[in-house]
């Protein structure tokens, strides 16, 4: 089991290095491998987040690439090691402990339902909450990194997400730029670097590596080919911005681990366990939060103990908070509402799945959220032009 190093070695600490260099005074310490006083000398600080590019993937498949050549450090993700929590940490500079975006599915006590948090809609589907006059600021309340720093900021994301409730809330203080494909993505970065402002922070998010890992698995040709193209595009970008006094930082929100049909736990095949739950599972297939009916607590614990010993570890969710899985310092008051009574952390490459009415029964190959080295460790790649 690998848990985040919030003291000086996680993506949260990386953000502290960046925001410190831009005039902020963050609560988490900066990482030692990226000195804020040195970083502050760069006219342009560019953070490229390649969703899903784990450290284990890079060191296994990235030999003789420019990415591997400029690998500077090995960082941890946050807990859970999933996009919703990790990307929110990049955009706020704090851990899950503070921002309380606890996974792909989040129980929102304020609305009395389990949400799909990034699309900001009910888990069963339907209109985003913003379309029915529920203000995103009620849920996405943490201050953004762009609001905390003293540089002109840009956030570059896919055109499908650029005006979403989540992006609008968590990119306050930045100019939002959209792209439609990989070529356009790097053009946007280049244009932002060459804009008229003297000091800039540019945050650019690329989701397709993660999407291909989910669909085809981390060892697939599709993922390998995409990784090769990313390496080529980054090489070209660096050549085009020589002498621009720019530091380009590349990292990820998490890595992924592949699963197979024999390692899928279908909750519908465990009616006694299902009977003990008051709500659908939330979180992710690799880390699931369980809301247990008070009268069924013993039934729930006994069932896990008798049937799931080799499949997952069972924790009281509040104990994970005490053990600093979610972060350091004072927790968000909403955190405890969003992590249930118990947390299942899946072993090996097991996943647990349930479905609600209206939800498509779909199974992916690549997964994240857990505490394996493949999921938890991400690279820190640094280029100085």
DSSP 192-253: HHTSS-SSEEEEEEE-HHHHHHHHH-TTSHHHHHHHHHHHHHHHHHHHHTTTS-EEEEEE-S
Q: Is 180 helix (H, G, I), strand (E, B) or coil?
A: coil
Let me know whether 272 and 243 are in one domain: no
Chain centroid to CA 272: how far?
A: 33
What pLDDT is stored for residue 243 in this prediction? 83
Indicate if 149 and 18 belong to the same structural domain: yes
- Residue 119's pLDDT is 95
Residue 125 confidence (pLDDT)? 87
Q: How do residues 290-335 score in pLDDT, each as one tens digit?
A: 999 999 999 999 999 999 999 999 999 999 999 999 999 999 999 9
Residue 32 lies in a domain: yes
Q: What is the pLDDT of residues 2-49, one digit of tens each?
A: 999 999 999 999 999 999 999 999 999 999 999 999 999 999 999 999
Q: Are 332 and 97 in contact (CB under 8 A)?
A: yes
Domain carrying residue 269: 261-365
pLDDT: is 73 or 137 the higher one?
73
Q: Is the pLDDT of residue 375 over 90?
A: yes
Residues 150-174: what's their mean pLDDT? 96
Are residue 132 and residue 43 in the same domain, yes or no?
Answer: yes
In a domain, 235, yes or no: yes
N- to C-terminal Cα separation, the chain = 38
Please report the pLDDT score of residue 385 as a whole number: 85
**pLDDT band (50, 70, 90) for residue 338:** very high
Residue 278 lies in a domain: yes
Bridge partners, residue 200, by sequence: 44, 152
CATH number at residue 279: 3.30.1360.180
Confidence of residue 339 (pLDDT cuts 50, 70, 90): very high
Helix axis angle, 182-193 relative to 221-240, nearest 10°? 20
Whole-model pTM: value is: 0.97
pLDDT of 161 reads: 93
Q: Are residues 233 and 285 in the same domain?
A: no
Residues 203 and 323 in one domain: no
Among candidate residues 178, 175, 171, 105, the one with its CA nearest the CA of residue 140: 171
Same domain assignment for residues 239 and 306: no
Residues 172, 175: Cα–Cα separation, whole Å: 8
Identify the CATH number of the domain in which residue 55 sits. Answer: 3.40.720.10
181 and 308 co-located in one domain? no
State how far the Cα of 144 lies from the Cα of 162, in Å rounded to an integer: 16
Query: 1 in a domain, yes or no?
Result: no
CA distance 206 to 98: 25
Does the residue 281 lie in any domain?
yes
Domain-embedded: residue 35: yes
In a domain? residue 104: yes
Q: Which residues contact 151 (CB under 8 A, 6 or more apart)?
A: 22, 23, 45, 197, 199, 200, 201
Q: Judge if 82 and 145 occupy the same domain.
A: yes
One domain for residues 239 and 106: yes
Average pLDDT across the chain, whole number: 97
- Residues 281, 312, single domain; the answer is yes
Q: Are residues 86 and 201 in the same domain?
A: yes
Q: Is residue 323 one of the residues assigned to a domain?
A: yes
* pLDDT value, residue 197: 85
Take residue 162 and report the two structure tokens written for it.
């650029």
Cα–Cα dist 68/85, whole Å: 26
* Tens of pLDDT, residues 194-237: 998 889 999 999 999 999 999 999 999 999 999 999 999 999 99
In this prediction, residue 181 has a pLDDT band, given cuts at 50, 70 and 90, of very high
Angle at Cα 250 formed by Cα 246 and Cα 253, nearest 5°?
Answer: 145
Q: How many domains does the chain have?
A: 2
pLDDT of residue 27: 98
Same domain, residue pair 87 and 209:
yes
* Rounded percentage of the chain residues whose pLDDT exceeds 90: 94
pLDDT at 276 > cutoff 90: yes
């Amino acid at each position: 089991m690998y848990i985040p190093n919030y003291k000086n070695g996680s993506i949260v600490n990386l953000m502290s290095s960046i925001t410190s260099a831009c005039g902020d005074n963050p609560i988490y310490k900066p990482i030692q491998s990226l000195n804020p006083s040195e970083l502050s000398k760069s006219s342009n600080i560019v953070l490229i987040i390649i969703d899903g590019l784990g450290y284990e993937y890079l060191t296994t498949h990235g030999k003789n690439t420019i990415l591997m050549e400029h690998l500077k450090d090995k960082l941890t993700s946050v807990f859970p090691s999933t996009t919703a929590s990790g990307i929110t940490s990049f955009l706020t500079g704090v851990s899950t402990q503070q921002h309380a975006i606890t996974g792909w599915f989040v129980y929102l006590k304020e609305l009395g339902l389990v949400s799909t948090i990034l699309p900001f809609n009910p888990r069963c589907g339907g209109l985003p909450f913003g379309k029915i006059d529920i203000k995103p600021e009620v849920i996405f309340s943490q201050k953004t990194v762009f609001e905390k720093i003293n540089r002109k900021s840009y956030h570059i994301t896919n055109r499908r997400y650029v005006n979403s409730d989540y992006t609008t809330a968590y990119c306050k203080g930045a100019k939002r730029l959209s792209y439609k494909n990989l070529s356009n993505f790097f053009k946007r970065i280049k244009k932002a670097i060459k804009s008229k402002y003297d000091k800039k922070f540019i945050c650019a998010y690329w989701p397709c590596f993660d999407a291909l890992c989910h669909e085809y698995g981390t060892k697939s040709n599709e993922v390998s080919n995409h990784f090769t193209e990313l390496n080529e595009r980054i090489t070209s970008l660096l050549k085009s911005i020589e002498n621009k006094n720019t530091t380009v930082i590349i990292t990820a929100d998490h890595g992924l681990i592949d699963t197979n049909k024999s390692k899928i736990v279908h909750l519908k095949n465990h009616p006694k366990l299902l009977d003990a739950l008051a709500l659908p599972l939330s979180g992710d297939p690799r880390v699931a939060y369980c809301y247990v009916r008070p009268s069924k607590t013993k039934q729930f614990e006994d069932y896990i103990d008798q049937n799931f010993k080799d499949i997952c570890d069972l924790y009281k969710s509040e104990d994970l908070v005490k053990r600093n899985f979610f972060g350091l310092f004072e927790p968000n008051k909403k955190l405890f509402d969003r992590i249930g009574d118990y947390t299942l952390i899946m072993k090996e490459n097991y996943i647990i799945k349930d479905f609600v009415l209206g939800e498509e029964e779909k199974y992916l190959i690549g997964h994240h959220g857990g505490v394996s080295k493949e999921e938890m460790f991400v690279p820190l790649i640094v280029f100085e032009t």
